[in-house]
Structure 1
Amino acid sequence: MNKWPDDDVILFDGVCIFCSRWVRFVAKRDSAKRFLFTPIQSDYGARLARAFGIDPADPDTNAVVHGGEVFMKSDAALTVLSQLPGWGWVRALFVVPKPLRDSVYSMVARNRYRIFGKYDACFVPDDDLRARVIE
């Protein structure tokens, strides 16, 4: 894949309650407002997903474009967290072997609807967050 034209974009499952809470968590702590968000159910999000090899109809990961690179699964979560004020310490978790981190991530991802629930449609962000959503 060529370099994605937009940077610091988080791709997420917009009908997943857990994923939507993740977006709110990040947005609340991202005082520099560096991250933008796109639900996989949007046109932009589906294009991004396909470019990364993610099936928009059955997403098994979130993703983030940061520094021109694409990160998925646990790498995406740790990359985002490590950019938030006060969360730089999570970089230490990169020493945990990726297969172990990703297996935990995948277990949560596979069961996210059953554990946390699912919206009937993409969640509607408040006005402040809406300005940071790309559709």
Structure 2
Amino acid sequence: MTTHVPETALRRTPLLMYDGTCGLCNACVRLLLRIDKAGTLRFAPLQGPTAQAILRERGLPTEDFDSLIFVPDFPRKDGPHWSRTDGVLQVLAELGGVWRVVSWLRVIPRWLRDPLYKVVARLRYRLFGEYRPRPLAKVEWAARFLP
């Protein structure tokens, strides 16, 4: 006797947690929404209840909004996660296609990549300002955001 497992139970659910008040972060999320034609990525602001619960479960800081966190299968509590440039490169690998090629930049050591990330993170509000809410380009994108 075989048991039928629903297709949705077999799918991974990649989640990108980002600073929900940052203009640059929100612009990047909107770009990812356009690039991710398959619609697999989910998004949650680090300040929101979903991200806060995941951060607590994984023993990560709940007040550090200077780094994005990418979790390739967020319902799995014991799965991996990546932050800073590792997170960015993992998201690009997740998207596939030409973006997977860009993700090969991980051959550059983290100690060379992350300092630039930290500089941009420190200056992002001065350079890009706070996020000003506006409608999404496609209404169906709203379902990809977790509170």
Asked if TM exceeds 0.5, the reply is: yes
* TM-score, length of structure 1 as denominator length: 0.84
Q: Is the 8 Å Cα contact of residues 54 and 60 (structure 1) preserved in structure 2?
A: no
Count, aligned residues: 127
* TM-score, length of structure 2 as denominator length: 0.78
Fraction of identical pairs, as percent: 33
Pick from 9, 16, 24 the counterpart of residue 30 of structure 2. 24
Pick from 76, 90, 99 the counterpart of residue 79 of structure 1. 90
Deviation (angstroms), 1:124: 5.2
1:11-38 deviation digits (Å, cap 9, x = unpaired): 0111100000111111111011110000
Within a 5 Å distance, the mapping from 1:1-135 to structure 2 comes to 7-50=13-56, 51-56=58-63, 58-66=64-72, 68-84=79-95, 85-119=97-131, 123=133, 126=136, 127-135=139-147
**Larger RCO of the pair (alpha carbons < 8 Å, separation 6+):** 1
DSSP-derived class of the 1:60 partner = coil
Gaps of 5+ in 1: 1-5
Q: CA RMSD in A?
A: 1.9
1:59-80 deviation digits (Å, cap 9, x = unpaired): 1200110153101000000111
Distance in 2 (alpha carbons) for counterparts of 1:16 and 1:111: 11
Which structure is larger by alpha-carbon Rg, 1 or 2? 2
DSSP-derived class of the 1:33 partner = coil
My pick for the range that moved more, 72-81 or 86-95, is 86-95
Gaps of 5+ in 2: 1-11, 74-78
